[in-house]
Structure 1
Amino acid sequence: MNDISRAAEREERGRDLSSRVFPLRIRGLAEALSAALEQEQALRRPFLWRVVASGGGVVLYFSAEREPSLALSLCALAAFAVLAGLTRRHARAHALFLTLAFIALGFASGAWRTARVAAPVIPRVGIGELTGFVEEVDLRRAGARFVLRVASAEGYPDDVIPSRVRLTTRGEPNFSAGDFIAFKARLMPPARAALPGGYDFARDAFFARIGAVGNALGRIETMPPPEPAPFSLRFFAHVDRMRNALAMRVYRIIDGDAGAIAAAMVTGKRDLLSEDAKNLIRRAGIFHIITISGVQMTLVAGIFFVGFRRLLAMSQTLALNYPIKKLAAALAMLGAILYDIGTGSRVGTERALVMTLIMLAAVLFDRPSLSMRNLALAALFIIAFEPEALLGASFQLSFAAVAALIAVYEWRGEYLAKRRIDDRAPRGRWGALRESVVERLLHGPGAAIFATLCATSATASFMAYDFHELSPYVLIGNPLTLAIIEFFAVPCALVGAALYPLGLDGFIWRYLKLGIDLVTYLAGLIASAPGASLPVAAFAPWAILFLSLAVLSLVLWRTWAWRALAIPLALIGLMGARSGAPFDLAVPATGESAALRLPSGQLAVMGQKPSAFAAEQWLRADGDARQSADARSGVACDDSGCIAKAVNGRFVGLVTERGAFLEDCGRVAVVITRLYAPLGCAAEIVIDRRRLSETGAVALRFKADGVEWTTARAIDEDRPWSPAPRNRRTSGFTAPLSDEERSAEDARAMEPLE
């Protein structure tokens, strides 16, 4: 009993000690976080998180199932802004209302942007006559793609006249940007997502005011316009003609994929590149070499800044009496704007331009040019004027990479300042080793590799989420890309464009070819290496939110007490990435094809002529590296449709002819069709034109206790780029069609899809 009593007494003392120590630890942690927060406030870091809050407001706007009221959104913004101003003397209340004001800013900017760009969208496939001004032409090796600002449209469904359309022509175009043309065209609505949570071209097309896509049919006639084109259209059309002329000049001199890469690096025109070349540079992790990115924009601005400053310094009068550094920065801003216009002024380039202009403006106002605050201002500008860009991979990758590089730069400066203070402090063996490692990370090639590693790590989650792949050899590919851009692409683009009007540019492009041949050779070695591209299956959408917050915690906070929050956030995000269950059946909104998981566990693409883009989306989301052409085995097809056995042992049928319903409805478990299925179809699951109009793309997972559905459209969703079915919008439900209406709709559905 004595031993038992002593043991009980020790246990009681342990609990008592724990009860006293645990609150002390909690109190100590809270005090440490509070002290770290004060330090963060002294460094003005909370402002960066308010910009993040405005981005959260944009995400909330696009998550809404129905279009929010613009008036209410603006009222909420005004109310929170007023409350934030009234509570300036109350720190906590002020911080709360200011954060809510930033969230409302992002939400209201989304509603305002939608109202500003709203334009008609063609409801279904139709053939008619078009006239309008050509805004832009992208030449291809065979044919071209062009954007038309529509002046008139006749013969299309519901007499809809879209504002802009994007079309392709198979022959060599006999027109150029700025011409007024008339022709017959087959138009269709912009494609919606082929998979729930996948890329939604219809949304991007809406914000580009593109109301239809399609093909030009027959002869395209150029004619005098009924009225002169607006000045802005004539200006940018002239720029596009010059870009095409320069791109074709570069392409003809260099030829082949090397010439296409050179044309893309110089002018931003990428349509000359073959699919094989795109896959090569993508597997090597250097796809951004053919885009006008922030690296090019920064280098161009830097060349202008240094060049103008050197020229101004040659004048003693200017150098001694005027701020030539600020004059050079102003001239560099002008040069960066002209470079942006000359390369097409696309969304990705515009973001790089905003960031560059803010950095140069910091020079004008004697502020640090490279800081996280300037990056936040650039992000805030985009949130205010192009909020839809936040959902795109370009914004996510570019800002994550630049934020990581700035965070490394800030850490480097902080470490060097601390080392200068503690330079005389004694160091042991481990301290000397640490100093040696850090020294190699701060200077020389190690610094570039370390910065690339940090930028790559910051963008890894976005690469996995947006493209379903990771490139392990990016540490080799990125420095290679930077070298090519610095020593070949940017200098050749500037000098070659200046010499092109004089006809003396030929040797410039031959010099550029040397660098491109080198990078394509090394890219081939990287792409052929084992594990050059690691496929990543799709993961839960909420996981990317936690992974993004983890990255932001690492790059925005300056104290390690708050940076440590990245660990639990990353763990939650990785759990979501692992919990993203693969689908067993995917059907696009058109219903003309499908992806089915076979008993072998692999996906098979069903359809007579399935969309290559949709098939690629399905395979990538499943973590499958195969090409769409290699995923057709296991499916039997004829003129009436396709049939295959699913992973659960049941049969799935894809019906393309009405006569096949009689047989397939009685023998398969799932019927998929772009037609209206008979009301008496006996299949367990019927995915037809009616259902897909309500759900959009669907993904099914077969379970022992039933079927798990995931749809691209939410229940009763009605957004401008994803409108509700017309019957549902007016009556609240989808009414049955009459036999005549069903036959007419089926006839439209039987038209060949592109």
Structure 2
Amino acid sequence: MSQLRRILVDAFETEVALRRVFLWLPAAAGAGVVSYMAADREPSLWLLVPLTAAFAGLAFLARGRRLAFFLLCGLCAFFAGDLSAAWRSARVAAPIIDRTTIGVVEGFIEQMDFRRAGARFVLRVHAIEGLAAAATPYRVRLSIHRAPPFEAGAYVRLKARLLPPAHASLPGGYDFAKDAWFARIGGVGNALGRIETAAPPAPPGLALRTMMALDRGRNALARRIDQIVGGDAGAIAAAMVTGKRDLLSDAAKDVIREAGIFHIITISGVQMTLVAAIFFVGFRRLLALSPTLALRYPIKKWSAALAMAGAVFYDVATGSRVGTERALFMTLIMLGAVLLDRQALTMRNLAFAALIVILTEPESIMGASFQLSFAAVAALVAVYEARMAAAAADREDGLILRARAVEGERLRLFWRACKNLLARGPGGLLFATFCATAATASFMAYNFHELSPYVLIGNPLTLTVIEVFAVPGALIGTLLYPLGLDAWVWRYVGLGIDGIMWAAAEIGRLPGATLHLPAFAPWSIIFLTLAMLCSVLWRTAVFRAMALPLAVIGVWGALCGPSFDMAVAPNGEAAAFRGQDGRLAVIASRPSLFASEQWLRADADGRPAREAVKKDACDKVGCVGYLADGRSLSLVFDKAAFAEDCGRADIIVTPLFAPAGCAAGLVIDRDELKETGAITLLFTASGVARRAARTPDEDRPWSPAPRRKWGPSSRPFAASRPTRAASSDLDPSSVARAAGEAPGSVEDEDGDASPLE
């Protein structure tokens, strides 16, 4: 026991000497953000501020006692993360549409995303007909089926159908309403009829004008690239250069996703790093042409400063998403280290970048972009640090061996040289790709319910295209674009993309190209994240070994994830059920492909969402389906259908208010769904196991508690079917009065429930 204690103490001392404990501060702050997002109620800023200050003061007082100091710093970081998320939520607070609203909307088009057919745009709202100023959303996101002749910056007036942002279609699933809250989007919907331009009541501010001008420039460049290259290759090239991804077809998205290279259409950290490197090297070579500057002035630092400015401009010009922001912060810290004569590429720089993102946009920690981006870079930096340590050891051993100069050890020198050559060549690239893939695998599986085994083939191809074609082409083409001499550059970029699309299609045809995985237990990702952090942040083998039990617990949680036989959308207008063939089928009045995809992915079903929709099971008043155990399911859209369906169906789902006398065994109506949100049901021998997206007392800014009414808050689920009431006993007039009107759908096929970029 004493020997084990000594080993642990020695390992801890080594970690402290290497300053690795500091790297856990962003993890503690991130845990605070996660606790904020998972809370049922909004935490009080008046409590979080003194708690954060108190633990900071206690840590200062306990700085002489190392272990206590570290623990108090961790608690301070935890509450600082919680405070950052609460303060961010309070800063972005804006009204949200609470019901379907049809009226005239006017405002500035802030961002326009053109599609092959139609467009989707974000409107900075000035006024909405029928809504008071205090109830008017700050922004709304609208879709239109025809591409308009104007772009960002236009002040428009249009009639629109607005709906509340969609809540999660599945307990634990993606919640668009939460992302919309932090993006200050208070409604989504469709433009109806003609859109008219008008004179604004007041000119926009400088920041808004700049943002709209950049969006117009991005769209112009994206159209230029797409027209020259053509097809899906042109859409990918436009996405890689400008960040505009809506031109890409669904078929092309499926191809690159199955090959594990979906990140090719994003402005990734690799591109940001390459852009900064090109600026840095280019400016340094240019300044070195002058002997006076090269010999008398610190042109390396000047080049770093100019590269920092170029990286900031590149981030702003390409849309500034979380992945590029992380890369920008990391790049700025690295170049700042050059200005201060410090080592640039370290895990500490990544920790600073993570802290900046958590403090400025804490909600991004819950998104796949943040998780994948930081996990991949952390793994790559860990590999780099290990290589540097190994190289230092090899140099020391090599000196000893050359000093001995004995015949039997020359073979060892030769083998070490071959090993180093392989590590710095293709073998090193594959090993780094493997480590980055392993670090991101749990987040890929948790967020997207799929893995791509051939990513070790796809990622090197992607990096080749980005390094050889995309980034140099983007910089040269953008410089030549104002002169009209850029066409040959985009054709050059298109050649590389054509090659990688061919390779991606071939990879996608390989057996097992995509592994579909069911939903994880929600807590499993916590242990998998801790396992990943232990493997990349610690330097000693003793502490790195902690990753093994954590990973085992996380994998066990992934294998024990929740299953379901039936899922109901939060608005009650769609449902999925497991049929006789064991697969999910979807019935709906207006099928939401996004919700259908969420249900299928959580069930490890790789079918396209359209294939799961049973259109022949529906008519104007409702839909009918039969579960695997023979129970009948009725989805009721018309209040007149209750008189019949309440007497014959085993399960009724409706967006209306169901009559109190409905004799179905399970009734899930509008009143129930306001309390629970989306629900899933698992039918077992002992009864019905239910999971709800909302907790009973949940009240958050993006998910406010429903208004309470007299009587029981919800209708309890019955484990077995009660005695039926004859259908003739139901008074049609009372049924009609109880049903009321259906709420509007919060999702549509235009993708208004799709994740925010």
TM-score (norm 1): 0.92
Structure 1's 240 and 620: CA in aligned 2 closer, same or farther, altered over 3 A?
same
CA distance in 1 between counterparts of 2:132 and 2:257 reads 40
Report what 1:288 is aligned to.
263
Structure 1's 434 and 744: CA in aligned 2 closer, same or farther, altered over 3 A?
farther
Report what 1:90 is aligned to.
65
Structure 1's 639 and 80: CA in aligned 2 closer, same or farther, altered over 3 A?
same
CA distance in 2 between counterparts of 1:446 and 1:523 reads 21
One of 737, 747, 750 as aligned partner of 2:741: 747
Report what 1:393 is aligned to.
368
Would you say 1:305 and 2:280 are equivalent positions?
A: yes
CA distance in 2 between counterparts of 1:162 and 1:723 reads 16
- DSSP-derived class of the 2:543 partner: helix
CA distance in 2 between counterparts of 1:230 and 1:587 reads 44
Displacement of 1:651 after TM fit?
A: 2.0
One of 239, 244, 248 as aligned partner of 2:219: 244
Structure 1's 138 and 649: CA in aligned 2 closer, same or farther, altered over 3 A?
same
CA distance in 2 between counterparts of 1:394 and 1:58 reads 16
Number of aligned residues: 725
Report what 2:11 is aligned to.
36
Displacement of 1:78 after TM fit?
A: 0.8
Report what 1:640 is aligned to.
621
- DSSP-derived class of the 2:55 partner: helix
Report what 1:229 is aligned to.
204
Displacement of 1:244 after TM fit?
A: 0.8
Would you say 1:128 and 2:74 are equivalent positions?
A: no
Report what 1:343 is aligned to.
318
CA distance in 1 between counterparts of 2:414 and 2:653 reads 65
Would you say 1:528 and 2:509 are equivalent positions?
A: yes
Report what 1:263 is aligned to.
238
- DSSP-derived class of the 1:167 partner: strand
One of 654, 659, 662 as aligned partner of 2:643: 662
CA distance in 2 between counterparts of 1:158 and 1:743 reads 33
More displaced 10-residue stretch of structure 1: 702-711 or 38-47: 702-711
CA distance in 1 between counterparts of 2:296 and 2:410 reads 54
Q: Give CA deviations for 1:348-392 in whole Å, capped at 9, x if unaligned.
A: 322221121111111111121111000000000011111100000
One of 589, 592, 599 as aligned partner of 1:618: 599
- DSSP-derived class of the 1:271 partner: coil
Structure 1's 606 and 366: CA in aligned 2 closer, same or farther, altered over 3 A?
same
- Write out aligned runs for 1:153-192 (5 A): 153-155=128-130, 160-192=135-167
Displacement of 1:72 after TM fit?
A: 1.0
The residue identity in structure 2 corresponding to 1:665 is C
Would you say 1:143 and 2:118 are equivalent positions?
A: yes
Report what 1:594 is aligned to.
575
Report what 1:19 is aligned to.
none
Q: Is the Cα contact below 8 Å between 1:268 and 1:292 reproduced in 2?
A: yes
Report what 1:211 is aligned to.
186
Q: Give CA deviations for 1:602-635 in whole Å, capped at 9, x if unaligned.
A: 1111224321011111111110111122224698
- DSSP-derived class of the 2:523 partner: helix
Q: Is the Cα contact below 8 Å between 1:61 and 1:107 reproduced in 2?
A: yes
Would you say 1:72 and 2:47 are equivalent positions?
A: yes
More displaced 10-residue stretch of structure 1: 600-609 or 222-231: 600-609
Displacement of 1:93 after TM fit?
A: 2.2
CA distance in 1 between counterparts of 2:322 and 2:712 reads 38
Structure 1's 429 and 734: CA in aligned 2 closer, same or farther, altered over 3 A?
farther
Would you say 1:484 and 2:478 are equivalent positions?
A: no
CA distance in 1 between counterparts of 2:29 and 2:497 reads 41
One of 508, 512, 521 as aligned partner of 1:540: 521
Report what 1:418 is aligned to.
393
CA distance in 2 between counterparts of 1:671 and 1:476 reads 49
Q: Is the Cα contact below 8 Å between 1:635 and 1:643 reproduced in 2?
A: no
- DSSP-derived class of the 1:727 partner: coil
CA distance in 2 between counterparts of 1:746 and 1:433 reads 83
Displacement of 1:589 after TM fit?
A: 0.5
Unaligned runs of 5+ in 1: 1-25
Structure 1's 725 and 461: CA in aligned 2 closer, same or farther, altered over 3 A?
same
Report what 1:570 is aligned to.
551
CA distance in 2 between counterparts of 1:88 and 1:179 reads 57
Report what 1:715 is aligned to.
696
- DSSP-derived class of the 1:639 partner: coil
Unaligned runs of 5+ in 2: 716-732, 749-757
One of 194, 199, 216 as aligned partner of 2:174: 199
- DSSP-derived class of the 1:708 partner: strand
Displacement of 1:86 after TM fit?
A: 1.4
Report what 2:494 is aligned to.
513
Report what 2:561 is aligned to.
580
- Write out aligned runs for 1:2-81 (5 A): 26-81=1-56
Q: Is the Cα contact below 8 Å between 1:257 and 1:277 reproduced in 2?
A: yes
More displaced 10-residue stretch of structure 1: 461-470 or 150-159: 150-159
- DSSP-derived class of the 1:610 partner: coil
- DSSP-derived class of the 1:340 partner: helix
TM-score (norm 2): 0.92
CA distance in 1 between counterparts of 2:744 and 2:175 reads 24
Q: Is the Cα contact below 8 Å between 2:365 and 2:371 reproduced in 1?
A: yes
CA distance in 2 between counterparts of 1:591 and 1:603 reads 17
CA distance in 2 between counterparts of 1:668 and 1:76 reads 55
CA distance in 2 between counterparts of 1:718 and 1:440 reads 59
Structure 1's 450 and 384: CA in aligned 2 closer, same or farther, altered over 3 A?
same
- Work out which structure has the larger RCO, using CA pairs closer than 8 Å and 6 or more positions apart in sequence: 2
Displacement of 1:744 after TM fit?
A: 10
Structure 1's 231 and 674: CA in aligned 2 closer, same or farther, altered over 3 A?
same
Report what 2:353 is aligned to.
378
Q: Is the Cα contact below 8 Å between 1:587 and 1:697 reproduced in 2?
A: yes
How big is the alpha-carbon RMSD for the aligned residues of Structure 1 and Structure 2?
2.4
CA distance in 1 between counterparts of 2:194 and 2:578 reads 44
Report what 2:720 is aligned to.
none
Structure 1's 167 and 633: CA in aligned 2 closer, same or farther, altered over 3 A?
closer
Report what 1:461 is aligned to.
442
Structure 1's 133 and 636: CA in aligned 2 closer, same or farther, altered over 3 A?
closer
Would you say 1:331 and 2:306 are equivalent positions?
A: yes
Q: Give CA deviations for 1:455-478 in whole Å, capped at 9, x if unaligned.
A: 001100000000000001111110
More displaced 10-residue stretch of structure 1: 403-412 or 357-366: 357-366
- DSSP-derived class of the 1:638 partner: coil
Displacement of 1:639 after TM fit?
A: 2.5
The residue identity in structure 2 corresponding to 1:227 is A
Structure 1's 752 and 265: CA in aligned 2 closer, same or farther, altered over 3 A?
closer
Q: Is the Cα contact below 8 Å between 2:232 and 2:248 reproduced in 1?
A: yes
CA distance in 1 between counterparts of 2:411 and 2:14 reads 29
Q: Give CA deviations for 1:552-596 in whole Å, capped at 9, x if unaligned.
A: 110000001100001100000011011113211111101111111
Structure 1's 248 and 42: CA in aligned 2 closer, same or farther, altered over 3 A?
same
The residue identity in structure 1 corresponding to 2:741 is A
Displacement of 1:480 after TM fit?
A: 0.4
Displacement of 1:511 after TM fit?
A: 1.1
Q: Is the Cα contact below 8 Å between 1:128 and 1:156 reproduced in 2?
A: no
Q: Give CA deviations for 1:419-464 in whole Å, capped at 9, x if unaligned.
A: 2223346999998999588536522110000000000011000000
CA distance in 1 between counterparts of 2:681 and 2:300 reads 61
Q: Is the Cα contact below 8 Å between 1:126 and 1:156 reproduced in 2?
A: no
CA distance in 2 between counterparts of 1:56 and 1:154 reads 42
The residue identity in structure 2 corresponding to 1:417 is A
